Structure 1
Amino acid sequence: MALASRYPDVEIPDVSVPEFVLAAGRDKPDAPALIDGLRGDVITHGQLAAYVDRVAAALHARGLRKGDVVAMFCPNTPWYPVVFHGIAAAGCVMSPINSLYTPDEIAFQLRDSGAKILITVSPFLDRALAAVEKAPVGEIVVMDGAEGHASLVDLLSTDAPSAQVDFDPADDLVTLPYSSGTTGLPKGVMLTHRNLVANVAQCRPLIQLGADERIIAVLPFFHIYGLTVLMNQGLAWGGAVVTLPRFDLEDFLRTIQDHKITRAFVAPPIVLALAKHPLVDQYDLSSLTSVLSGAAPLDEQLALAAEKRLRKGADSGVTVAQGYGMTELSPVSHTTPDLGAEPPGAAPGSVPKGSVGFAVPNSECRLVDPATGEDAAPGTRGELWVRGPNVMKGYLNNPTATADTIDADGWLHTGDVAVVDENGCYTVVDRVKELIKYKGYQVAPAELEAVLIGHPEIADAAVIGVPDEESGEELPKAFVVRAPGSTLTQDAVIEYMAGKVAPHKKIRIVEFIEAVPKSAAGKILRKDLRAAG
C-alpha cells in the first residue's frame, strides 16, 4: 500500500538549478551568501550570481556544451558553489570526486563519467595528475593556481558572452555523483535539474530556513548531502553558508561561536563529539537552533545526550534530530521537521529521537516484506520503497543496475528496512543491502574485495561491516584466505589496503579463514560470516 506524505504537495518550479537556487539573492545582492569559516572571506549573493555567469561563459568558450561532464576534486571552499553553479549554468554536468580518493579511484570516475575537464586545487594536483595519466581529460583547471594550468581567476576574468542554454529540467543532468547504490561497485547517479530543485523545495515545509540563517558547511559538498542540504538549500532561501575545508573539532566549534551559526547539518561522529568531547564546554554555541544528522543512523541515546548538553545555558532550545536519504534520492526522502513545522494533526516535538521523521512532500512510501514482495502488515518492518520527483533518472550506462533499483512503477528500492508508526514517523531499523556505512560514507564490500584479491598472497577474501560499540557505526572487516605457503599477517593486510584505498575504506579488522562461504551460484554468504563474527 502506498503511503502518501502527510504534507501537502509543494510547487516544483520547472527551472534549472542555478535559476532556482540563485533567485533568492536577487532581492538581497549585498547580503553574504558564502563565508570562509577560517579566513572570513565573503562572497555576497550578488557576487555569486555574477561569478556563476563568468564560469559558465568560460566553459562555453572552451567548447563545452550541454551534457558534457566536468569533474570537481576539491574540498569545501566558498568557491565550490561558484564553480558548481557555473558548470550547471553552462548546461554541463558536475561530477564530484571524494577529496580522499586515490589516483586509481579518481581515474575510475573520470573514465566512467567521460569527464572532459577536471577542476581541482593545488594540494590535490599530484593525485589529479597521476589519475589523468590513466584517464586523460582535455584540461586540468587548478582553482588556486599552478604553473601550466588555468586558474579560477582565469575563468572569472573571461570576456566571453554569457552562456545561453535551453534547459529541459526533467531530463537534463546537473550532477553525477558516484554511489555504490544498494550493492556492488560505484556507479554514476544521474540527477537532473528537476531532481535537485524538487528536493530543495520538498524540504522547505519541514526545514524552514530563514533568510538570516547561518549554516555551517563542514560536511563535504562532494557528498550529495552537503551539495543539496547544506549548499543549495542554504543559498536557495537567502541564507549564508559558512564553509570549512575539513572537520576539525576546534575549528568547528570556534566557527559556530564566532559566526553565530544557527544550523548545523552533520553526521553521527560530529554528534558524538558534541555529546562527549570536553572541548565543547569551552565555546559559546548558544546561537544554534538545530543540529540535524544524516548520512548514517543516529543512535537515540546519543541524540538525547547531545541535545541535553547543548541546551545548557542556551536560550534557543536547540534540537538534535535526524533525517534519511540516499544519493539516488537527491538525497532527502525523510526528515525530522523544525518544531512547529509538523504536518497537520501531529503534535509539536512528537517525533521520537530514534526516528528519521516524516516523508517529504510530493513523495510516497511503501514498506515491503523482502521475503514475499508483498506490503508489510501495518506496524511491521519492511524494505522502504520511495517514489517521487527526487528519485534519480538512473545509473549512468548501467540499465541493469537501474532496473534492479527502480521498478517499472517508479518505486526506488532503498535496501533499508523501516517501520512507520501511527503518526507517520519512519524509523530505519536494519538494512537489506550489503553496503557498509562508515563515518557517513558508503563503503562497497565488492570494491574492497577486488583490491584484496589483487594481493599475491591472498587467495580469496570477503568483507562485511561489523558494529563498533563506541561510535555506533560499522567497521570494514576482511575475512582473508591466505595463498598456499603464505605467512601474511593481519598488519600486512591492513597496511596493504591503506595504500590502495581512501581512508574511510580502510580495512579495520582482519580474520584469516580457510574458505569464504559461498552459494552454489558463487555469491558470498555474508550472513554466515556475520554469524561467525
Structure 2
Amino acid sequence: MATAAAAADPRSGYCAATGAFRSKRAEVPLPAGRDLDVVTFLASRRHSGVVALVDASTGRRTTFAELWRAVAGAATALAAPPFGLRKGHVALILSPNSVHFPVAALAAMSLGAVVTTANPLNTAAEVAKQVADARPVLAFTTRDLLPKLPRAADGLRVVLLESSSSPAPADPRIVATIDEISATAPDPARRRDRVTQDDQATLLYSSGTTGPSKGVVATHRNLISMVQIVMNRFRLEDSDTTETFLCTVPMFHVYGLVAFATGLLGCGATIVVLSKFELPEMLRCISAYGVTYLPLVPPILVAMVAHPKPLPLGNLRKVLSGGAPLSKELIEGFREKYPQVEILQGYGLTESTAIGASTDSAEESRRYGTAGLLSPNTEAKIVDPDTGEALPVNRTGELWIRGPYVMKGYFNNTEATQATVTPDGWLKTGDLCYIDEDGYLFVVDRLKELIKYKGYQVPPAELEALLLTHPEVSDVAVIPFPDRDVGQFPMAYVVRKKGSNLSAQEVMEFVAKQVAPYKKVRKVAFVTDIPKNASGKILRKDLIKLATSKL
C-alpha cells in the first residue's frame, strides 16, 4: 500500500501501476492490540463531555459516568443466569430509537455477543424470518413490539427496553427490564470471554433494495476503525466545546447504530434521541437542547427545503446527509433557505460499516452530485463490469473499496460472500461510479438496477433526476419493465404535486425531448408515495413486484 501511495497522482489519488485510487485524506491511526473490543475502546477514550444521552420526549439526561455504569451493570446481569449470554451468542434488538438502545447494544457486545437489529416496522413474518436466520438467544424489545417476536423461537428470553415503573405484560418470555439489569452492581470478578478485534460484533441485515436481505457480519475491528474515522471527520476530540447531535436516523440501521449507539459515545458528544421523526418535534429539540449537528436522510432534507418559510434552526451548524446522493437543486435550495448551516454528505454501505466517502466541508459539498472524497484508510478501484479491467479517472464502472471497515462476510452465505468480497479484501459495492481528476467519487447508479433496453444500459437515477426537474412532479422512481421485444424498458412511478393533473403522456414527452431514444420512459403510473427504506433509498424491488404482478 505504501508503494501505491508513493506512485499515486497527488491530485486524483490514482495509481496507474495498481489501477487503484488512494484516499487523499490523512491516515487515521488504529489500535494495534488484538485483544480489544469496541466497548472497551469507547469507554477508554478521554474527552471533556458530561452528558451522553438525552431522551427527547422526557428531557431525562444520562451522563457518561451513568452510561458506562449501566453498561457494566447490564453486562454483569446478562452474563449470569437466567441469561448466560456468552461470546458468539446473538442478541436481537427490536425497538424504535431510545436511550436504552445503546445500553443494550454495548452491554451485549462487551460480552462478545453479536448484536442483530430489526426494523420495528417489519411485519411479524419478517421478524420471524430474521429470528430463524440469526437464531438469537435474547431479545431486547418494547411491550408494543413484543407480539412481533415469534413464540416458536426456542428458548428466546426477553428484556423490555423500558423503565420498571409499569407492570410488565404477562408473558413468560420476559425476564427483566433494561432498568433492572442496568441497576445490577458491576462484578469485576465475573467470568469473561476473551474478545478480540477479529471477533463478530454485529449482524445487520442489508436493506435488500434489489433482492432478499442478507446478514452482514461486522467485527470489532470494523466498528473500531469506523469510530476512529468518524471522530476524525468531525474533529470532535480536539474540540473544547461539546457538540450536540440529534438522532433522527434509526438506530437499527447501520448509520444510526455505528454513529449513535457506538461511535459518538467515544468522543464526548451529547446525543439527543428522538423515538420517531416528526418535523415539529425535531425543531423543538433543536431549539430546546441546543443541537449543533443534525444527521438525517434525504427525505427530511426535502421536507425542510419544501417548507414555505425557513424553519427556526437555533444553533444548528451542520446537517449530515447519508443514504442517497443529493441533487444540485436540493443542495442549492437548502443553502439559499439556511445559509448559516453547512451541508455535508456521506456514502457507505452496511457491508462497509457505513464508511466509504464523504464531503467534510461546505467547499467539498459544492462539487454537486459528489459523494465526496474517499474516507481515510481507504483504497478504491473502478472496475469495468464486463472485462474486469481497472479504469482510470473519469471512467464509469463498478466501485470496489478496501479498508479496515469492510465486513467479514455474509452470515452463513459463503457463496454471496465470495461473490462480493475478493480474496485480497476488495468489497464489490454493486454501485456504478466514477472518480474525477480531483479524487471526488460520483455514484451513477446501482449496477443491479440498470435497465437493459435492447442491450443499452439505462441508469434509473438519471431519469429520476430529470423527472424531478418537472414543476409538477413531487417524487419519482424509475424501474425496469419486462418486455419480450426489447428486454426491458424504463417505467416511471410518479407522485404528482398537489393540485396537478399531469398525464402519463405529458411525463413521457417531457423525458423524450431530453434523452436518447433508448432512454425514453415508455410506461407511467401515478402513486401517492414512493416506497423507500430507512436511509431514503428507493425500494425498487417492491415497485417491480407491483408492476409485474399485473402482467
Does residue 154 (structure 1) correspond to residue 177 (structure 2)? The answer is no
1:212 corresponds, among 222, 242, 245, to 242
1:143 corresponds, among 161, 185, 196, to 161
Distance 1:199 1:186 in 2: 22
**1:444-500 C-alpha deviation (Å, 9 max, x unpaired):** xxxxxxxxxxxxxxxxxxxx99947356664789989xxxxxxxxxxxxx9xxx9xx
Does residue 373 (structure 1) correspond to residue 351 (structure 2)? The answer is no
| 1:119 counterpart SS class | strand
Q: Alpha carbons of 1:166 and 1:136: their partners in 2 closer, same or farther (altered >3 Å)?
A: closer
Distance 1:192 1:372 in 2: 32
In structure 2, what is the equivalent of residue 2 of structure 1?
20
Give 5+ residue unaligned stretches, structure 1: 312-316, 340-347, 437-463, 481-493, 516-533
Give the TM-score normalised by structure 2: 0.76
Match of 2:22, as an amino acid?
A
Deviation at 1:93, TM superposition (A): 0.9
| 1:83 counterpart SS class | helix
In structure 2, what is the equivalent of residue 335 of structure 1?
358
CA contact (8 A) 1:351 1:425 kept: no
In structure 2, what is the equivalent of residue 324 of structure 1?
347
In structure 2, what is the equivalent of residue 405 of structure 1?
420
**1:99-144 C-alpha deviation (Å, 9 max, x unpaired):** 111111101111101100111011212222xxx2243342122222
Match of 1:192, as an amino acid?
T
Q: For 1:119-518, what aligned pairs fall within 5 Å after superposition?
A: 119-128=140-149, 132-144=150-162, 145-148=168-171, 149=174, 150-159=176-185, 161-162=187-188, 163-179=190-206, 184-209=211-236, 210=239, 212-278=242-308, 281=310, 283-311=311-339, 317-338=340-361, 348-349=363-364, 351-434=366-449, 467=464, 469=468, 470=473, 474=477, 507=542, 510-511=546-547
Give the TM-score normalised by structure 1: 0.78
Distance 1:164 1:198 in 2: 27
CA contact (8 A) 2:78 2:85 kept: yes
Does residue 36 (structure 1) correspond to residue 55 (structure 2)? The answer is yes
Match of 2:220, as an amino acid?
H
| 2:417 counterpart SS class | helix
| 1:356 counterpart SS class | strand
Q: Alpha carbons of 1:473 and 1:116: their partners in 2 closer, same or farther (altered >3 Å)?
A: farther
Deviation at 1:508, TM superposition (A): 5.7
| 1:206 counterpart SS class | helix
CA contact (8 A) 1:230 1:265 kept: no
Q: Alpha carbons of 1:185 and 1:511: their partners in 2 closer, same or farther (altered >3 Å)?
A: closer
Q: Alpha carbons of 1:41 and 1:357: their partners in 2 closer, same or farther (altered >3 Å)?
A: same
Deviation at 1:247, TM superposition (A): 1.1
Deviates more, 1:156-165 or 1:90-99: 156-165
In structure 2, what is the equivalent of residue 52 of structure 1?
71
| 1:384 counterpart SS class | strand
In structure 2, what is the equivalent of residue 95 of structure 1?
116
Match of 1:155, as an amino acid?
I
In structure 2, what is the equivalent of residue 525 of structure 1?
none
| 1:427 counterpart SS class | strand
Distance 1:7 1:414 in 2: 21
Deviation at 1:205, TM superposition (A): 3.1
Distance 1:45 1:160 in 2: 16
CA contact (8 A) 1:73 1:96 kept: yes
Deviation at 1:98, TM superposition (A): 0.7
Q: Alpha carbons of 1:87 and 1:371: their partners in 2 closer, same or farther (altered >3 Å)?
A: same
Deviation at 1:185, TM superposition (A): 1.6
Deviation at 1:298, TM superposition (A): 1.7
In structure 2, what is the equivalent of residue 439 of structure 1?
none
Deviation at 1:79, TM superposition (A): 1.2
CA contact (8 A) 2:72 2:186 kept: no
Match of 2:131, as an amino acid?
L
Match of 1:5, as an amino acid?
S
Distance 1:127 1:290 in 2: 37
Distance 1:195 1:124 in 2: 30
CA contact (8 A) 1:405 1:412 kept: yes
Deviates more, 1:326-335 or 1:229-238: 229-238
Q: Alpha carbons of 1:36 and 1:353: their partners in 2 closer, same or farther (altered >3 Å)?
A: farther
Q: Alpha carbons of 1:147 and 1:432: their partners in 2 closer, same or farther (altered >3 Å)?
A: same
Deviates more, 1:231-240 or 1:211-220: 231-240
Aligned length, in residue pairs: 453
CA contact (8 A) 2:244 2:270 kept: yes
Give 5+ residue unaligned stretches, structure 2: 1-18, 163-167, 452-459, 484-525
Deviation at 1:28, TM superposition (A): 4.5
CA contact (8 A) 1:418 1:430 kept: yes
| Superposition RMSD in Å | 3.2
Match of 2:85, as an amino acid?
L
Deviation at 1:184, TM superposition (A): 3.4
Distance 1:89 1:168 in 2: 8
Deviation at 1:159, TM superposition (A): 4.2
| 1:133 counterpart SS class | coil
Match of 2:130, as an amino acid?
Q
Distance 1:191 1:409 in 2: 17
Distance 2:258 2:398 in 1: 25
Q: Alpha carbons of 1:413 and 1:215: their partners in 2 closer, same or farther (altered >3 Å)?
A: same
CA contact (8 A) 1:479 1:511 kept: no
Match of 1:49, as an amino acid?
W
**1:278-313 C-alpha deviation (Å, 9 max, x unpaired):** 3x63x53141111111112222210221122112xx
CA contact (8 A) 2:111 2:193 kept: no
Q: Alpha carbons of 1:227 and 1:478: their partners in 2 closer, same or farther (altered >3 Å)?
A: farther
CA contact (8 A) 2:325 2:370 kept: no
Distance 2:305 2:406 in 1: 34
Distance 1:471 1:179 in 2: 27
Deviation at 1:368, TM superposition (A): 0.8
Distance 2:74 2:195 in 1: 21
Match of 2:281, as an amino acid?
D
Match of 1:161, as an amino acid?
D
**1:310-367 C-alpha deviation (Å, 9 max, x unpaired):** 12xxxxx32113110000000111011135xxxxxxxx54751311111111110001
In structure 2, what is the equivalent of residue 112 of structure 1?
133
Deviation at 1:257, TM superposition (A): 1.6
Q: Alpha carbons of 1:479 and 1:120: their partners in 2 closer, same or farther (altered >3 Å)?
A: farther
Q: Alpha carbons of 1:251 and 1:118: their partners in 2 closer, same or farther (altered >3 Å)?
A: same
CA contact (8 A) 1:183 1:433 kept: yes
Distance 1:421 1:17 in 2: 35
